[in-house]
Amino acid sequence: MDSFDIKAFESAVEIQWCPGCSNFGILQAIKKAFVELRKAPHEICLVSGIGQAAKLPHYLRCNLFNGLHGRAIPVATGICATNPKLTTVVVTGDGDCYGEGGNHFLHALRRNPDMTLVVHNNEVYALTKGQASPTTQIGEKTTLQTRGVDIPPLNMPALAIGQGCTFVARGFAGEIEHLKELLVAAVRHRGFSYIDVVQPCITWGTRPMQWYLERVYKLDDDHDRRDREAALKLTTEWEKKIPIGILYEAEPREAFGDSFRARVTAEFLPTLRPIGPDKINEILVEFKG
């Protein structure tokens, strides 16, 4: 089978999402993006935490690491810093990333690891039956906040732009081809690239898919991606219209791990020697002891 055929990424794991879930659109867009990027399964590492979004790596054939709730970003940071040849992608949800993992999100903006963060933003904790998440809109009633959410949602794309992230985009699970293009651009961008994907939950969501379909619009060529002020203004659009596309893109800066790898290579690589299986077993036995 051609490594760059979409069938190469098919997994035998049974998909546990609800029939008709918009996560299927994101999964398809990711597969299409890897094919266009001509990435083979062994060249990719998907990292996730806990949640419906975090199940996606199970449904795509490649290297994967499924970790603790909210802890995908630090694991992925270590992976891409130590093995820059891998294409590292974090797949997470708004609760997993912006709630439990919010602290790690903030420091990833500072560190600038060379990886792509894809956040399935459905504005609820879908896996645990629809409680409000950090992005649930004020006033929305949920299974736990029965009188309505009384605090405003986080605007993470705005935070990312303000903190110097050099690639910030918003996608929509209902626009698969457009989302694929964003994913391709994000992976190709050197450094930390971040896509917030509007992903309506058909079971626990507070608003139907149609509400989003009536509001999303694609940014055209008139939008200056280098204009930070204009990008920040776009992140505030929501109730009447929702822009999708690359909100902000700046010149790449040094990625986390670059200078460290260069220093270690220069100082220690000449003294390193290959070790065989016997030596590895000795080290493992010592470690267990």
Question: Which tokens sit at 145?
Answer: 């906040």
- Split at pLDDT 50, 70, 90, the class of 271 is low
Task: Evaluate whether 170 touches 244 at the Cβ level (below 8 Å).
Answer: yes
Q: Tell which wins on pLDDT, 272 or 146.
A: 146
Task: Evaluate whether 235 touches 158 at the Cβ level (below 8 Å).
Answer: yes
| Mean predicted lDDT score pLDDT of the chain | 92
Give all strands (DSSP E) within 100-241, no chain letters: 116-121, 124-125, 131-132, 167-172, 193-198, 216-218
CA distances from 59 to 12, 179, 184, 197, 276 (A): 7, 18, 19, 18, 34
Tell me what the mean pLDDT of segment 127-131 comes to.
89
Question: Which tokens sit at 55?
Answer: 């199940």
pLDDT at 263: 74
The letter for the amino acid at 202 is: I
Tell me what the mean pLDDT of segment 29-45 comes to.
96
Paired sense of beta strands 116-121 and 124-125, if any: unpaired
pLDDT at 276: 75
Question: Which tokens sit at 194?
Answer: 């971040």
For residue 288, pLDDT over 90 is answered with no
Give the tens place of pLDDT for each residue, 73-109: 999 999 999 889 999 999 999 999 999 999 999 999 9
Domain ranges of the chain: 6-254
CA distances from 44 to 12, 39, 50, 98, 196 (A): 18, 7, 20, 24, 20
- Split at pLDDT 50, 70, 90, the class of 203 is very high
pLDDT at 266: 67
- Split at pLDDT 50, 70, 90, the class of 60 is very high
SS3 per-residue string spanning 64-84: EEECCCCCHHHHHHHHHHHCC
pLDDT at 96: 95
- CATH superfamily ID and name for 6-254: Thiamin diphosphate (ThDP)-binding fold, Pyr/PP domains (3.40.50.970)
Q: Tell which wins on pLDDT, 167 or 205.
A: 167
For residue 150, pLDDT over 90 is answered with yes
Question: Which tokens sit at 8?
Answer: 């190469």
**Alpha-carbon gap, residue 41 to 47, rounded angstroms:** 14
Candidate from 69-73, 151-155, 205-209, 243-247 with smallest mean pLDDT: 205-209
Tell me what the mean pLDDT of segment 58-78 comes to.
94
Task: Give the global pTM.
Answer: 0.89
pLDDT at 92: 97
Q: Tell which wins on pLDDT, 264 or 230.
A: 230
| β-sheet bridge partners, residue 119 | 92, 196
Question: Which tokens sit at 7?
Answer: 């069938």
Tell me what the mean pLDDT of segment 124-130 comes to.
90
- Split at pLDDT 50, 70, 90, the class of 270 is low
pLDDT at 274: 65
For residue 272, pLDDT over 60 is answered with no
Portion of the chain with pLDDT greater than 90, in percent: 78
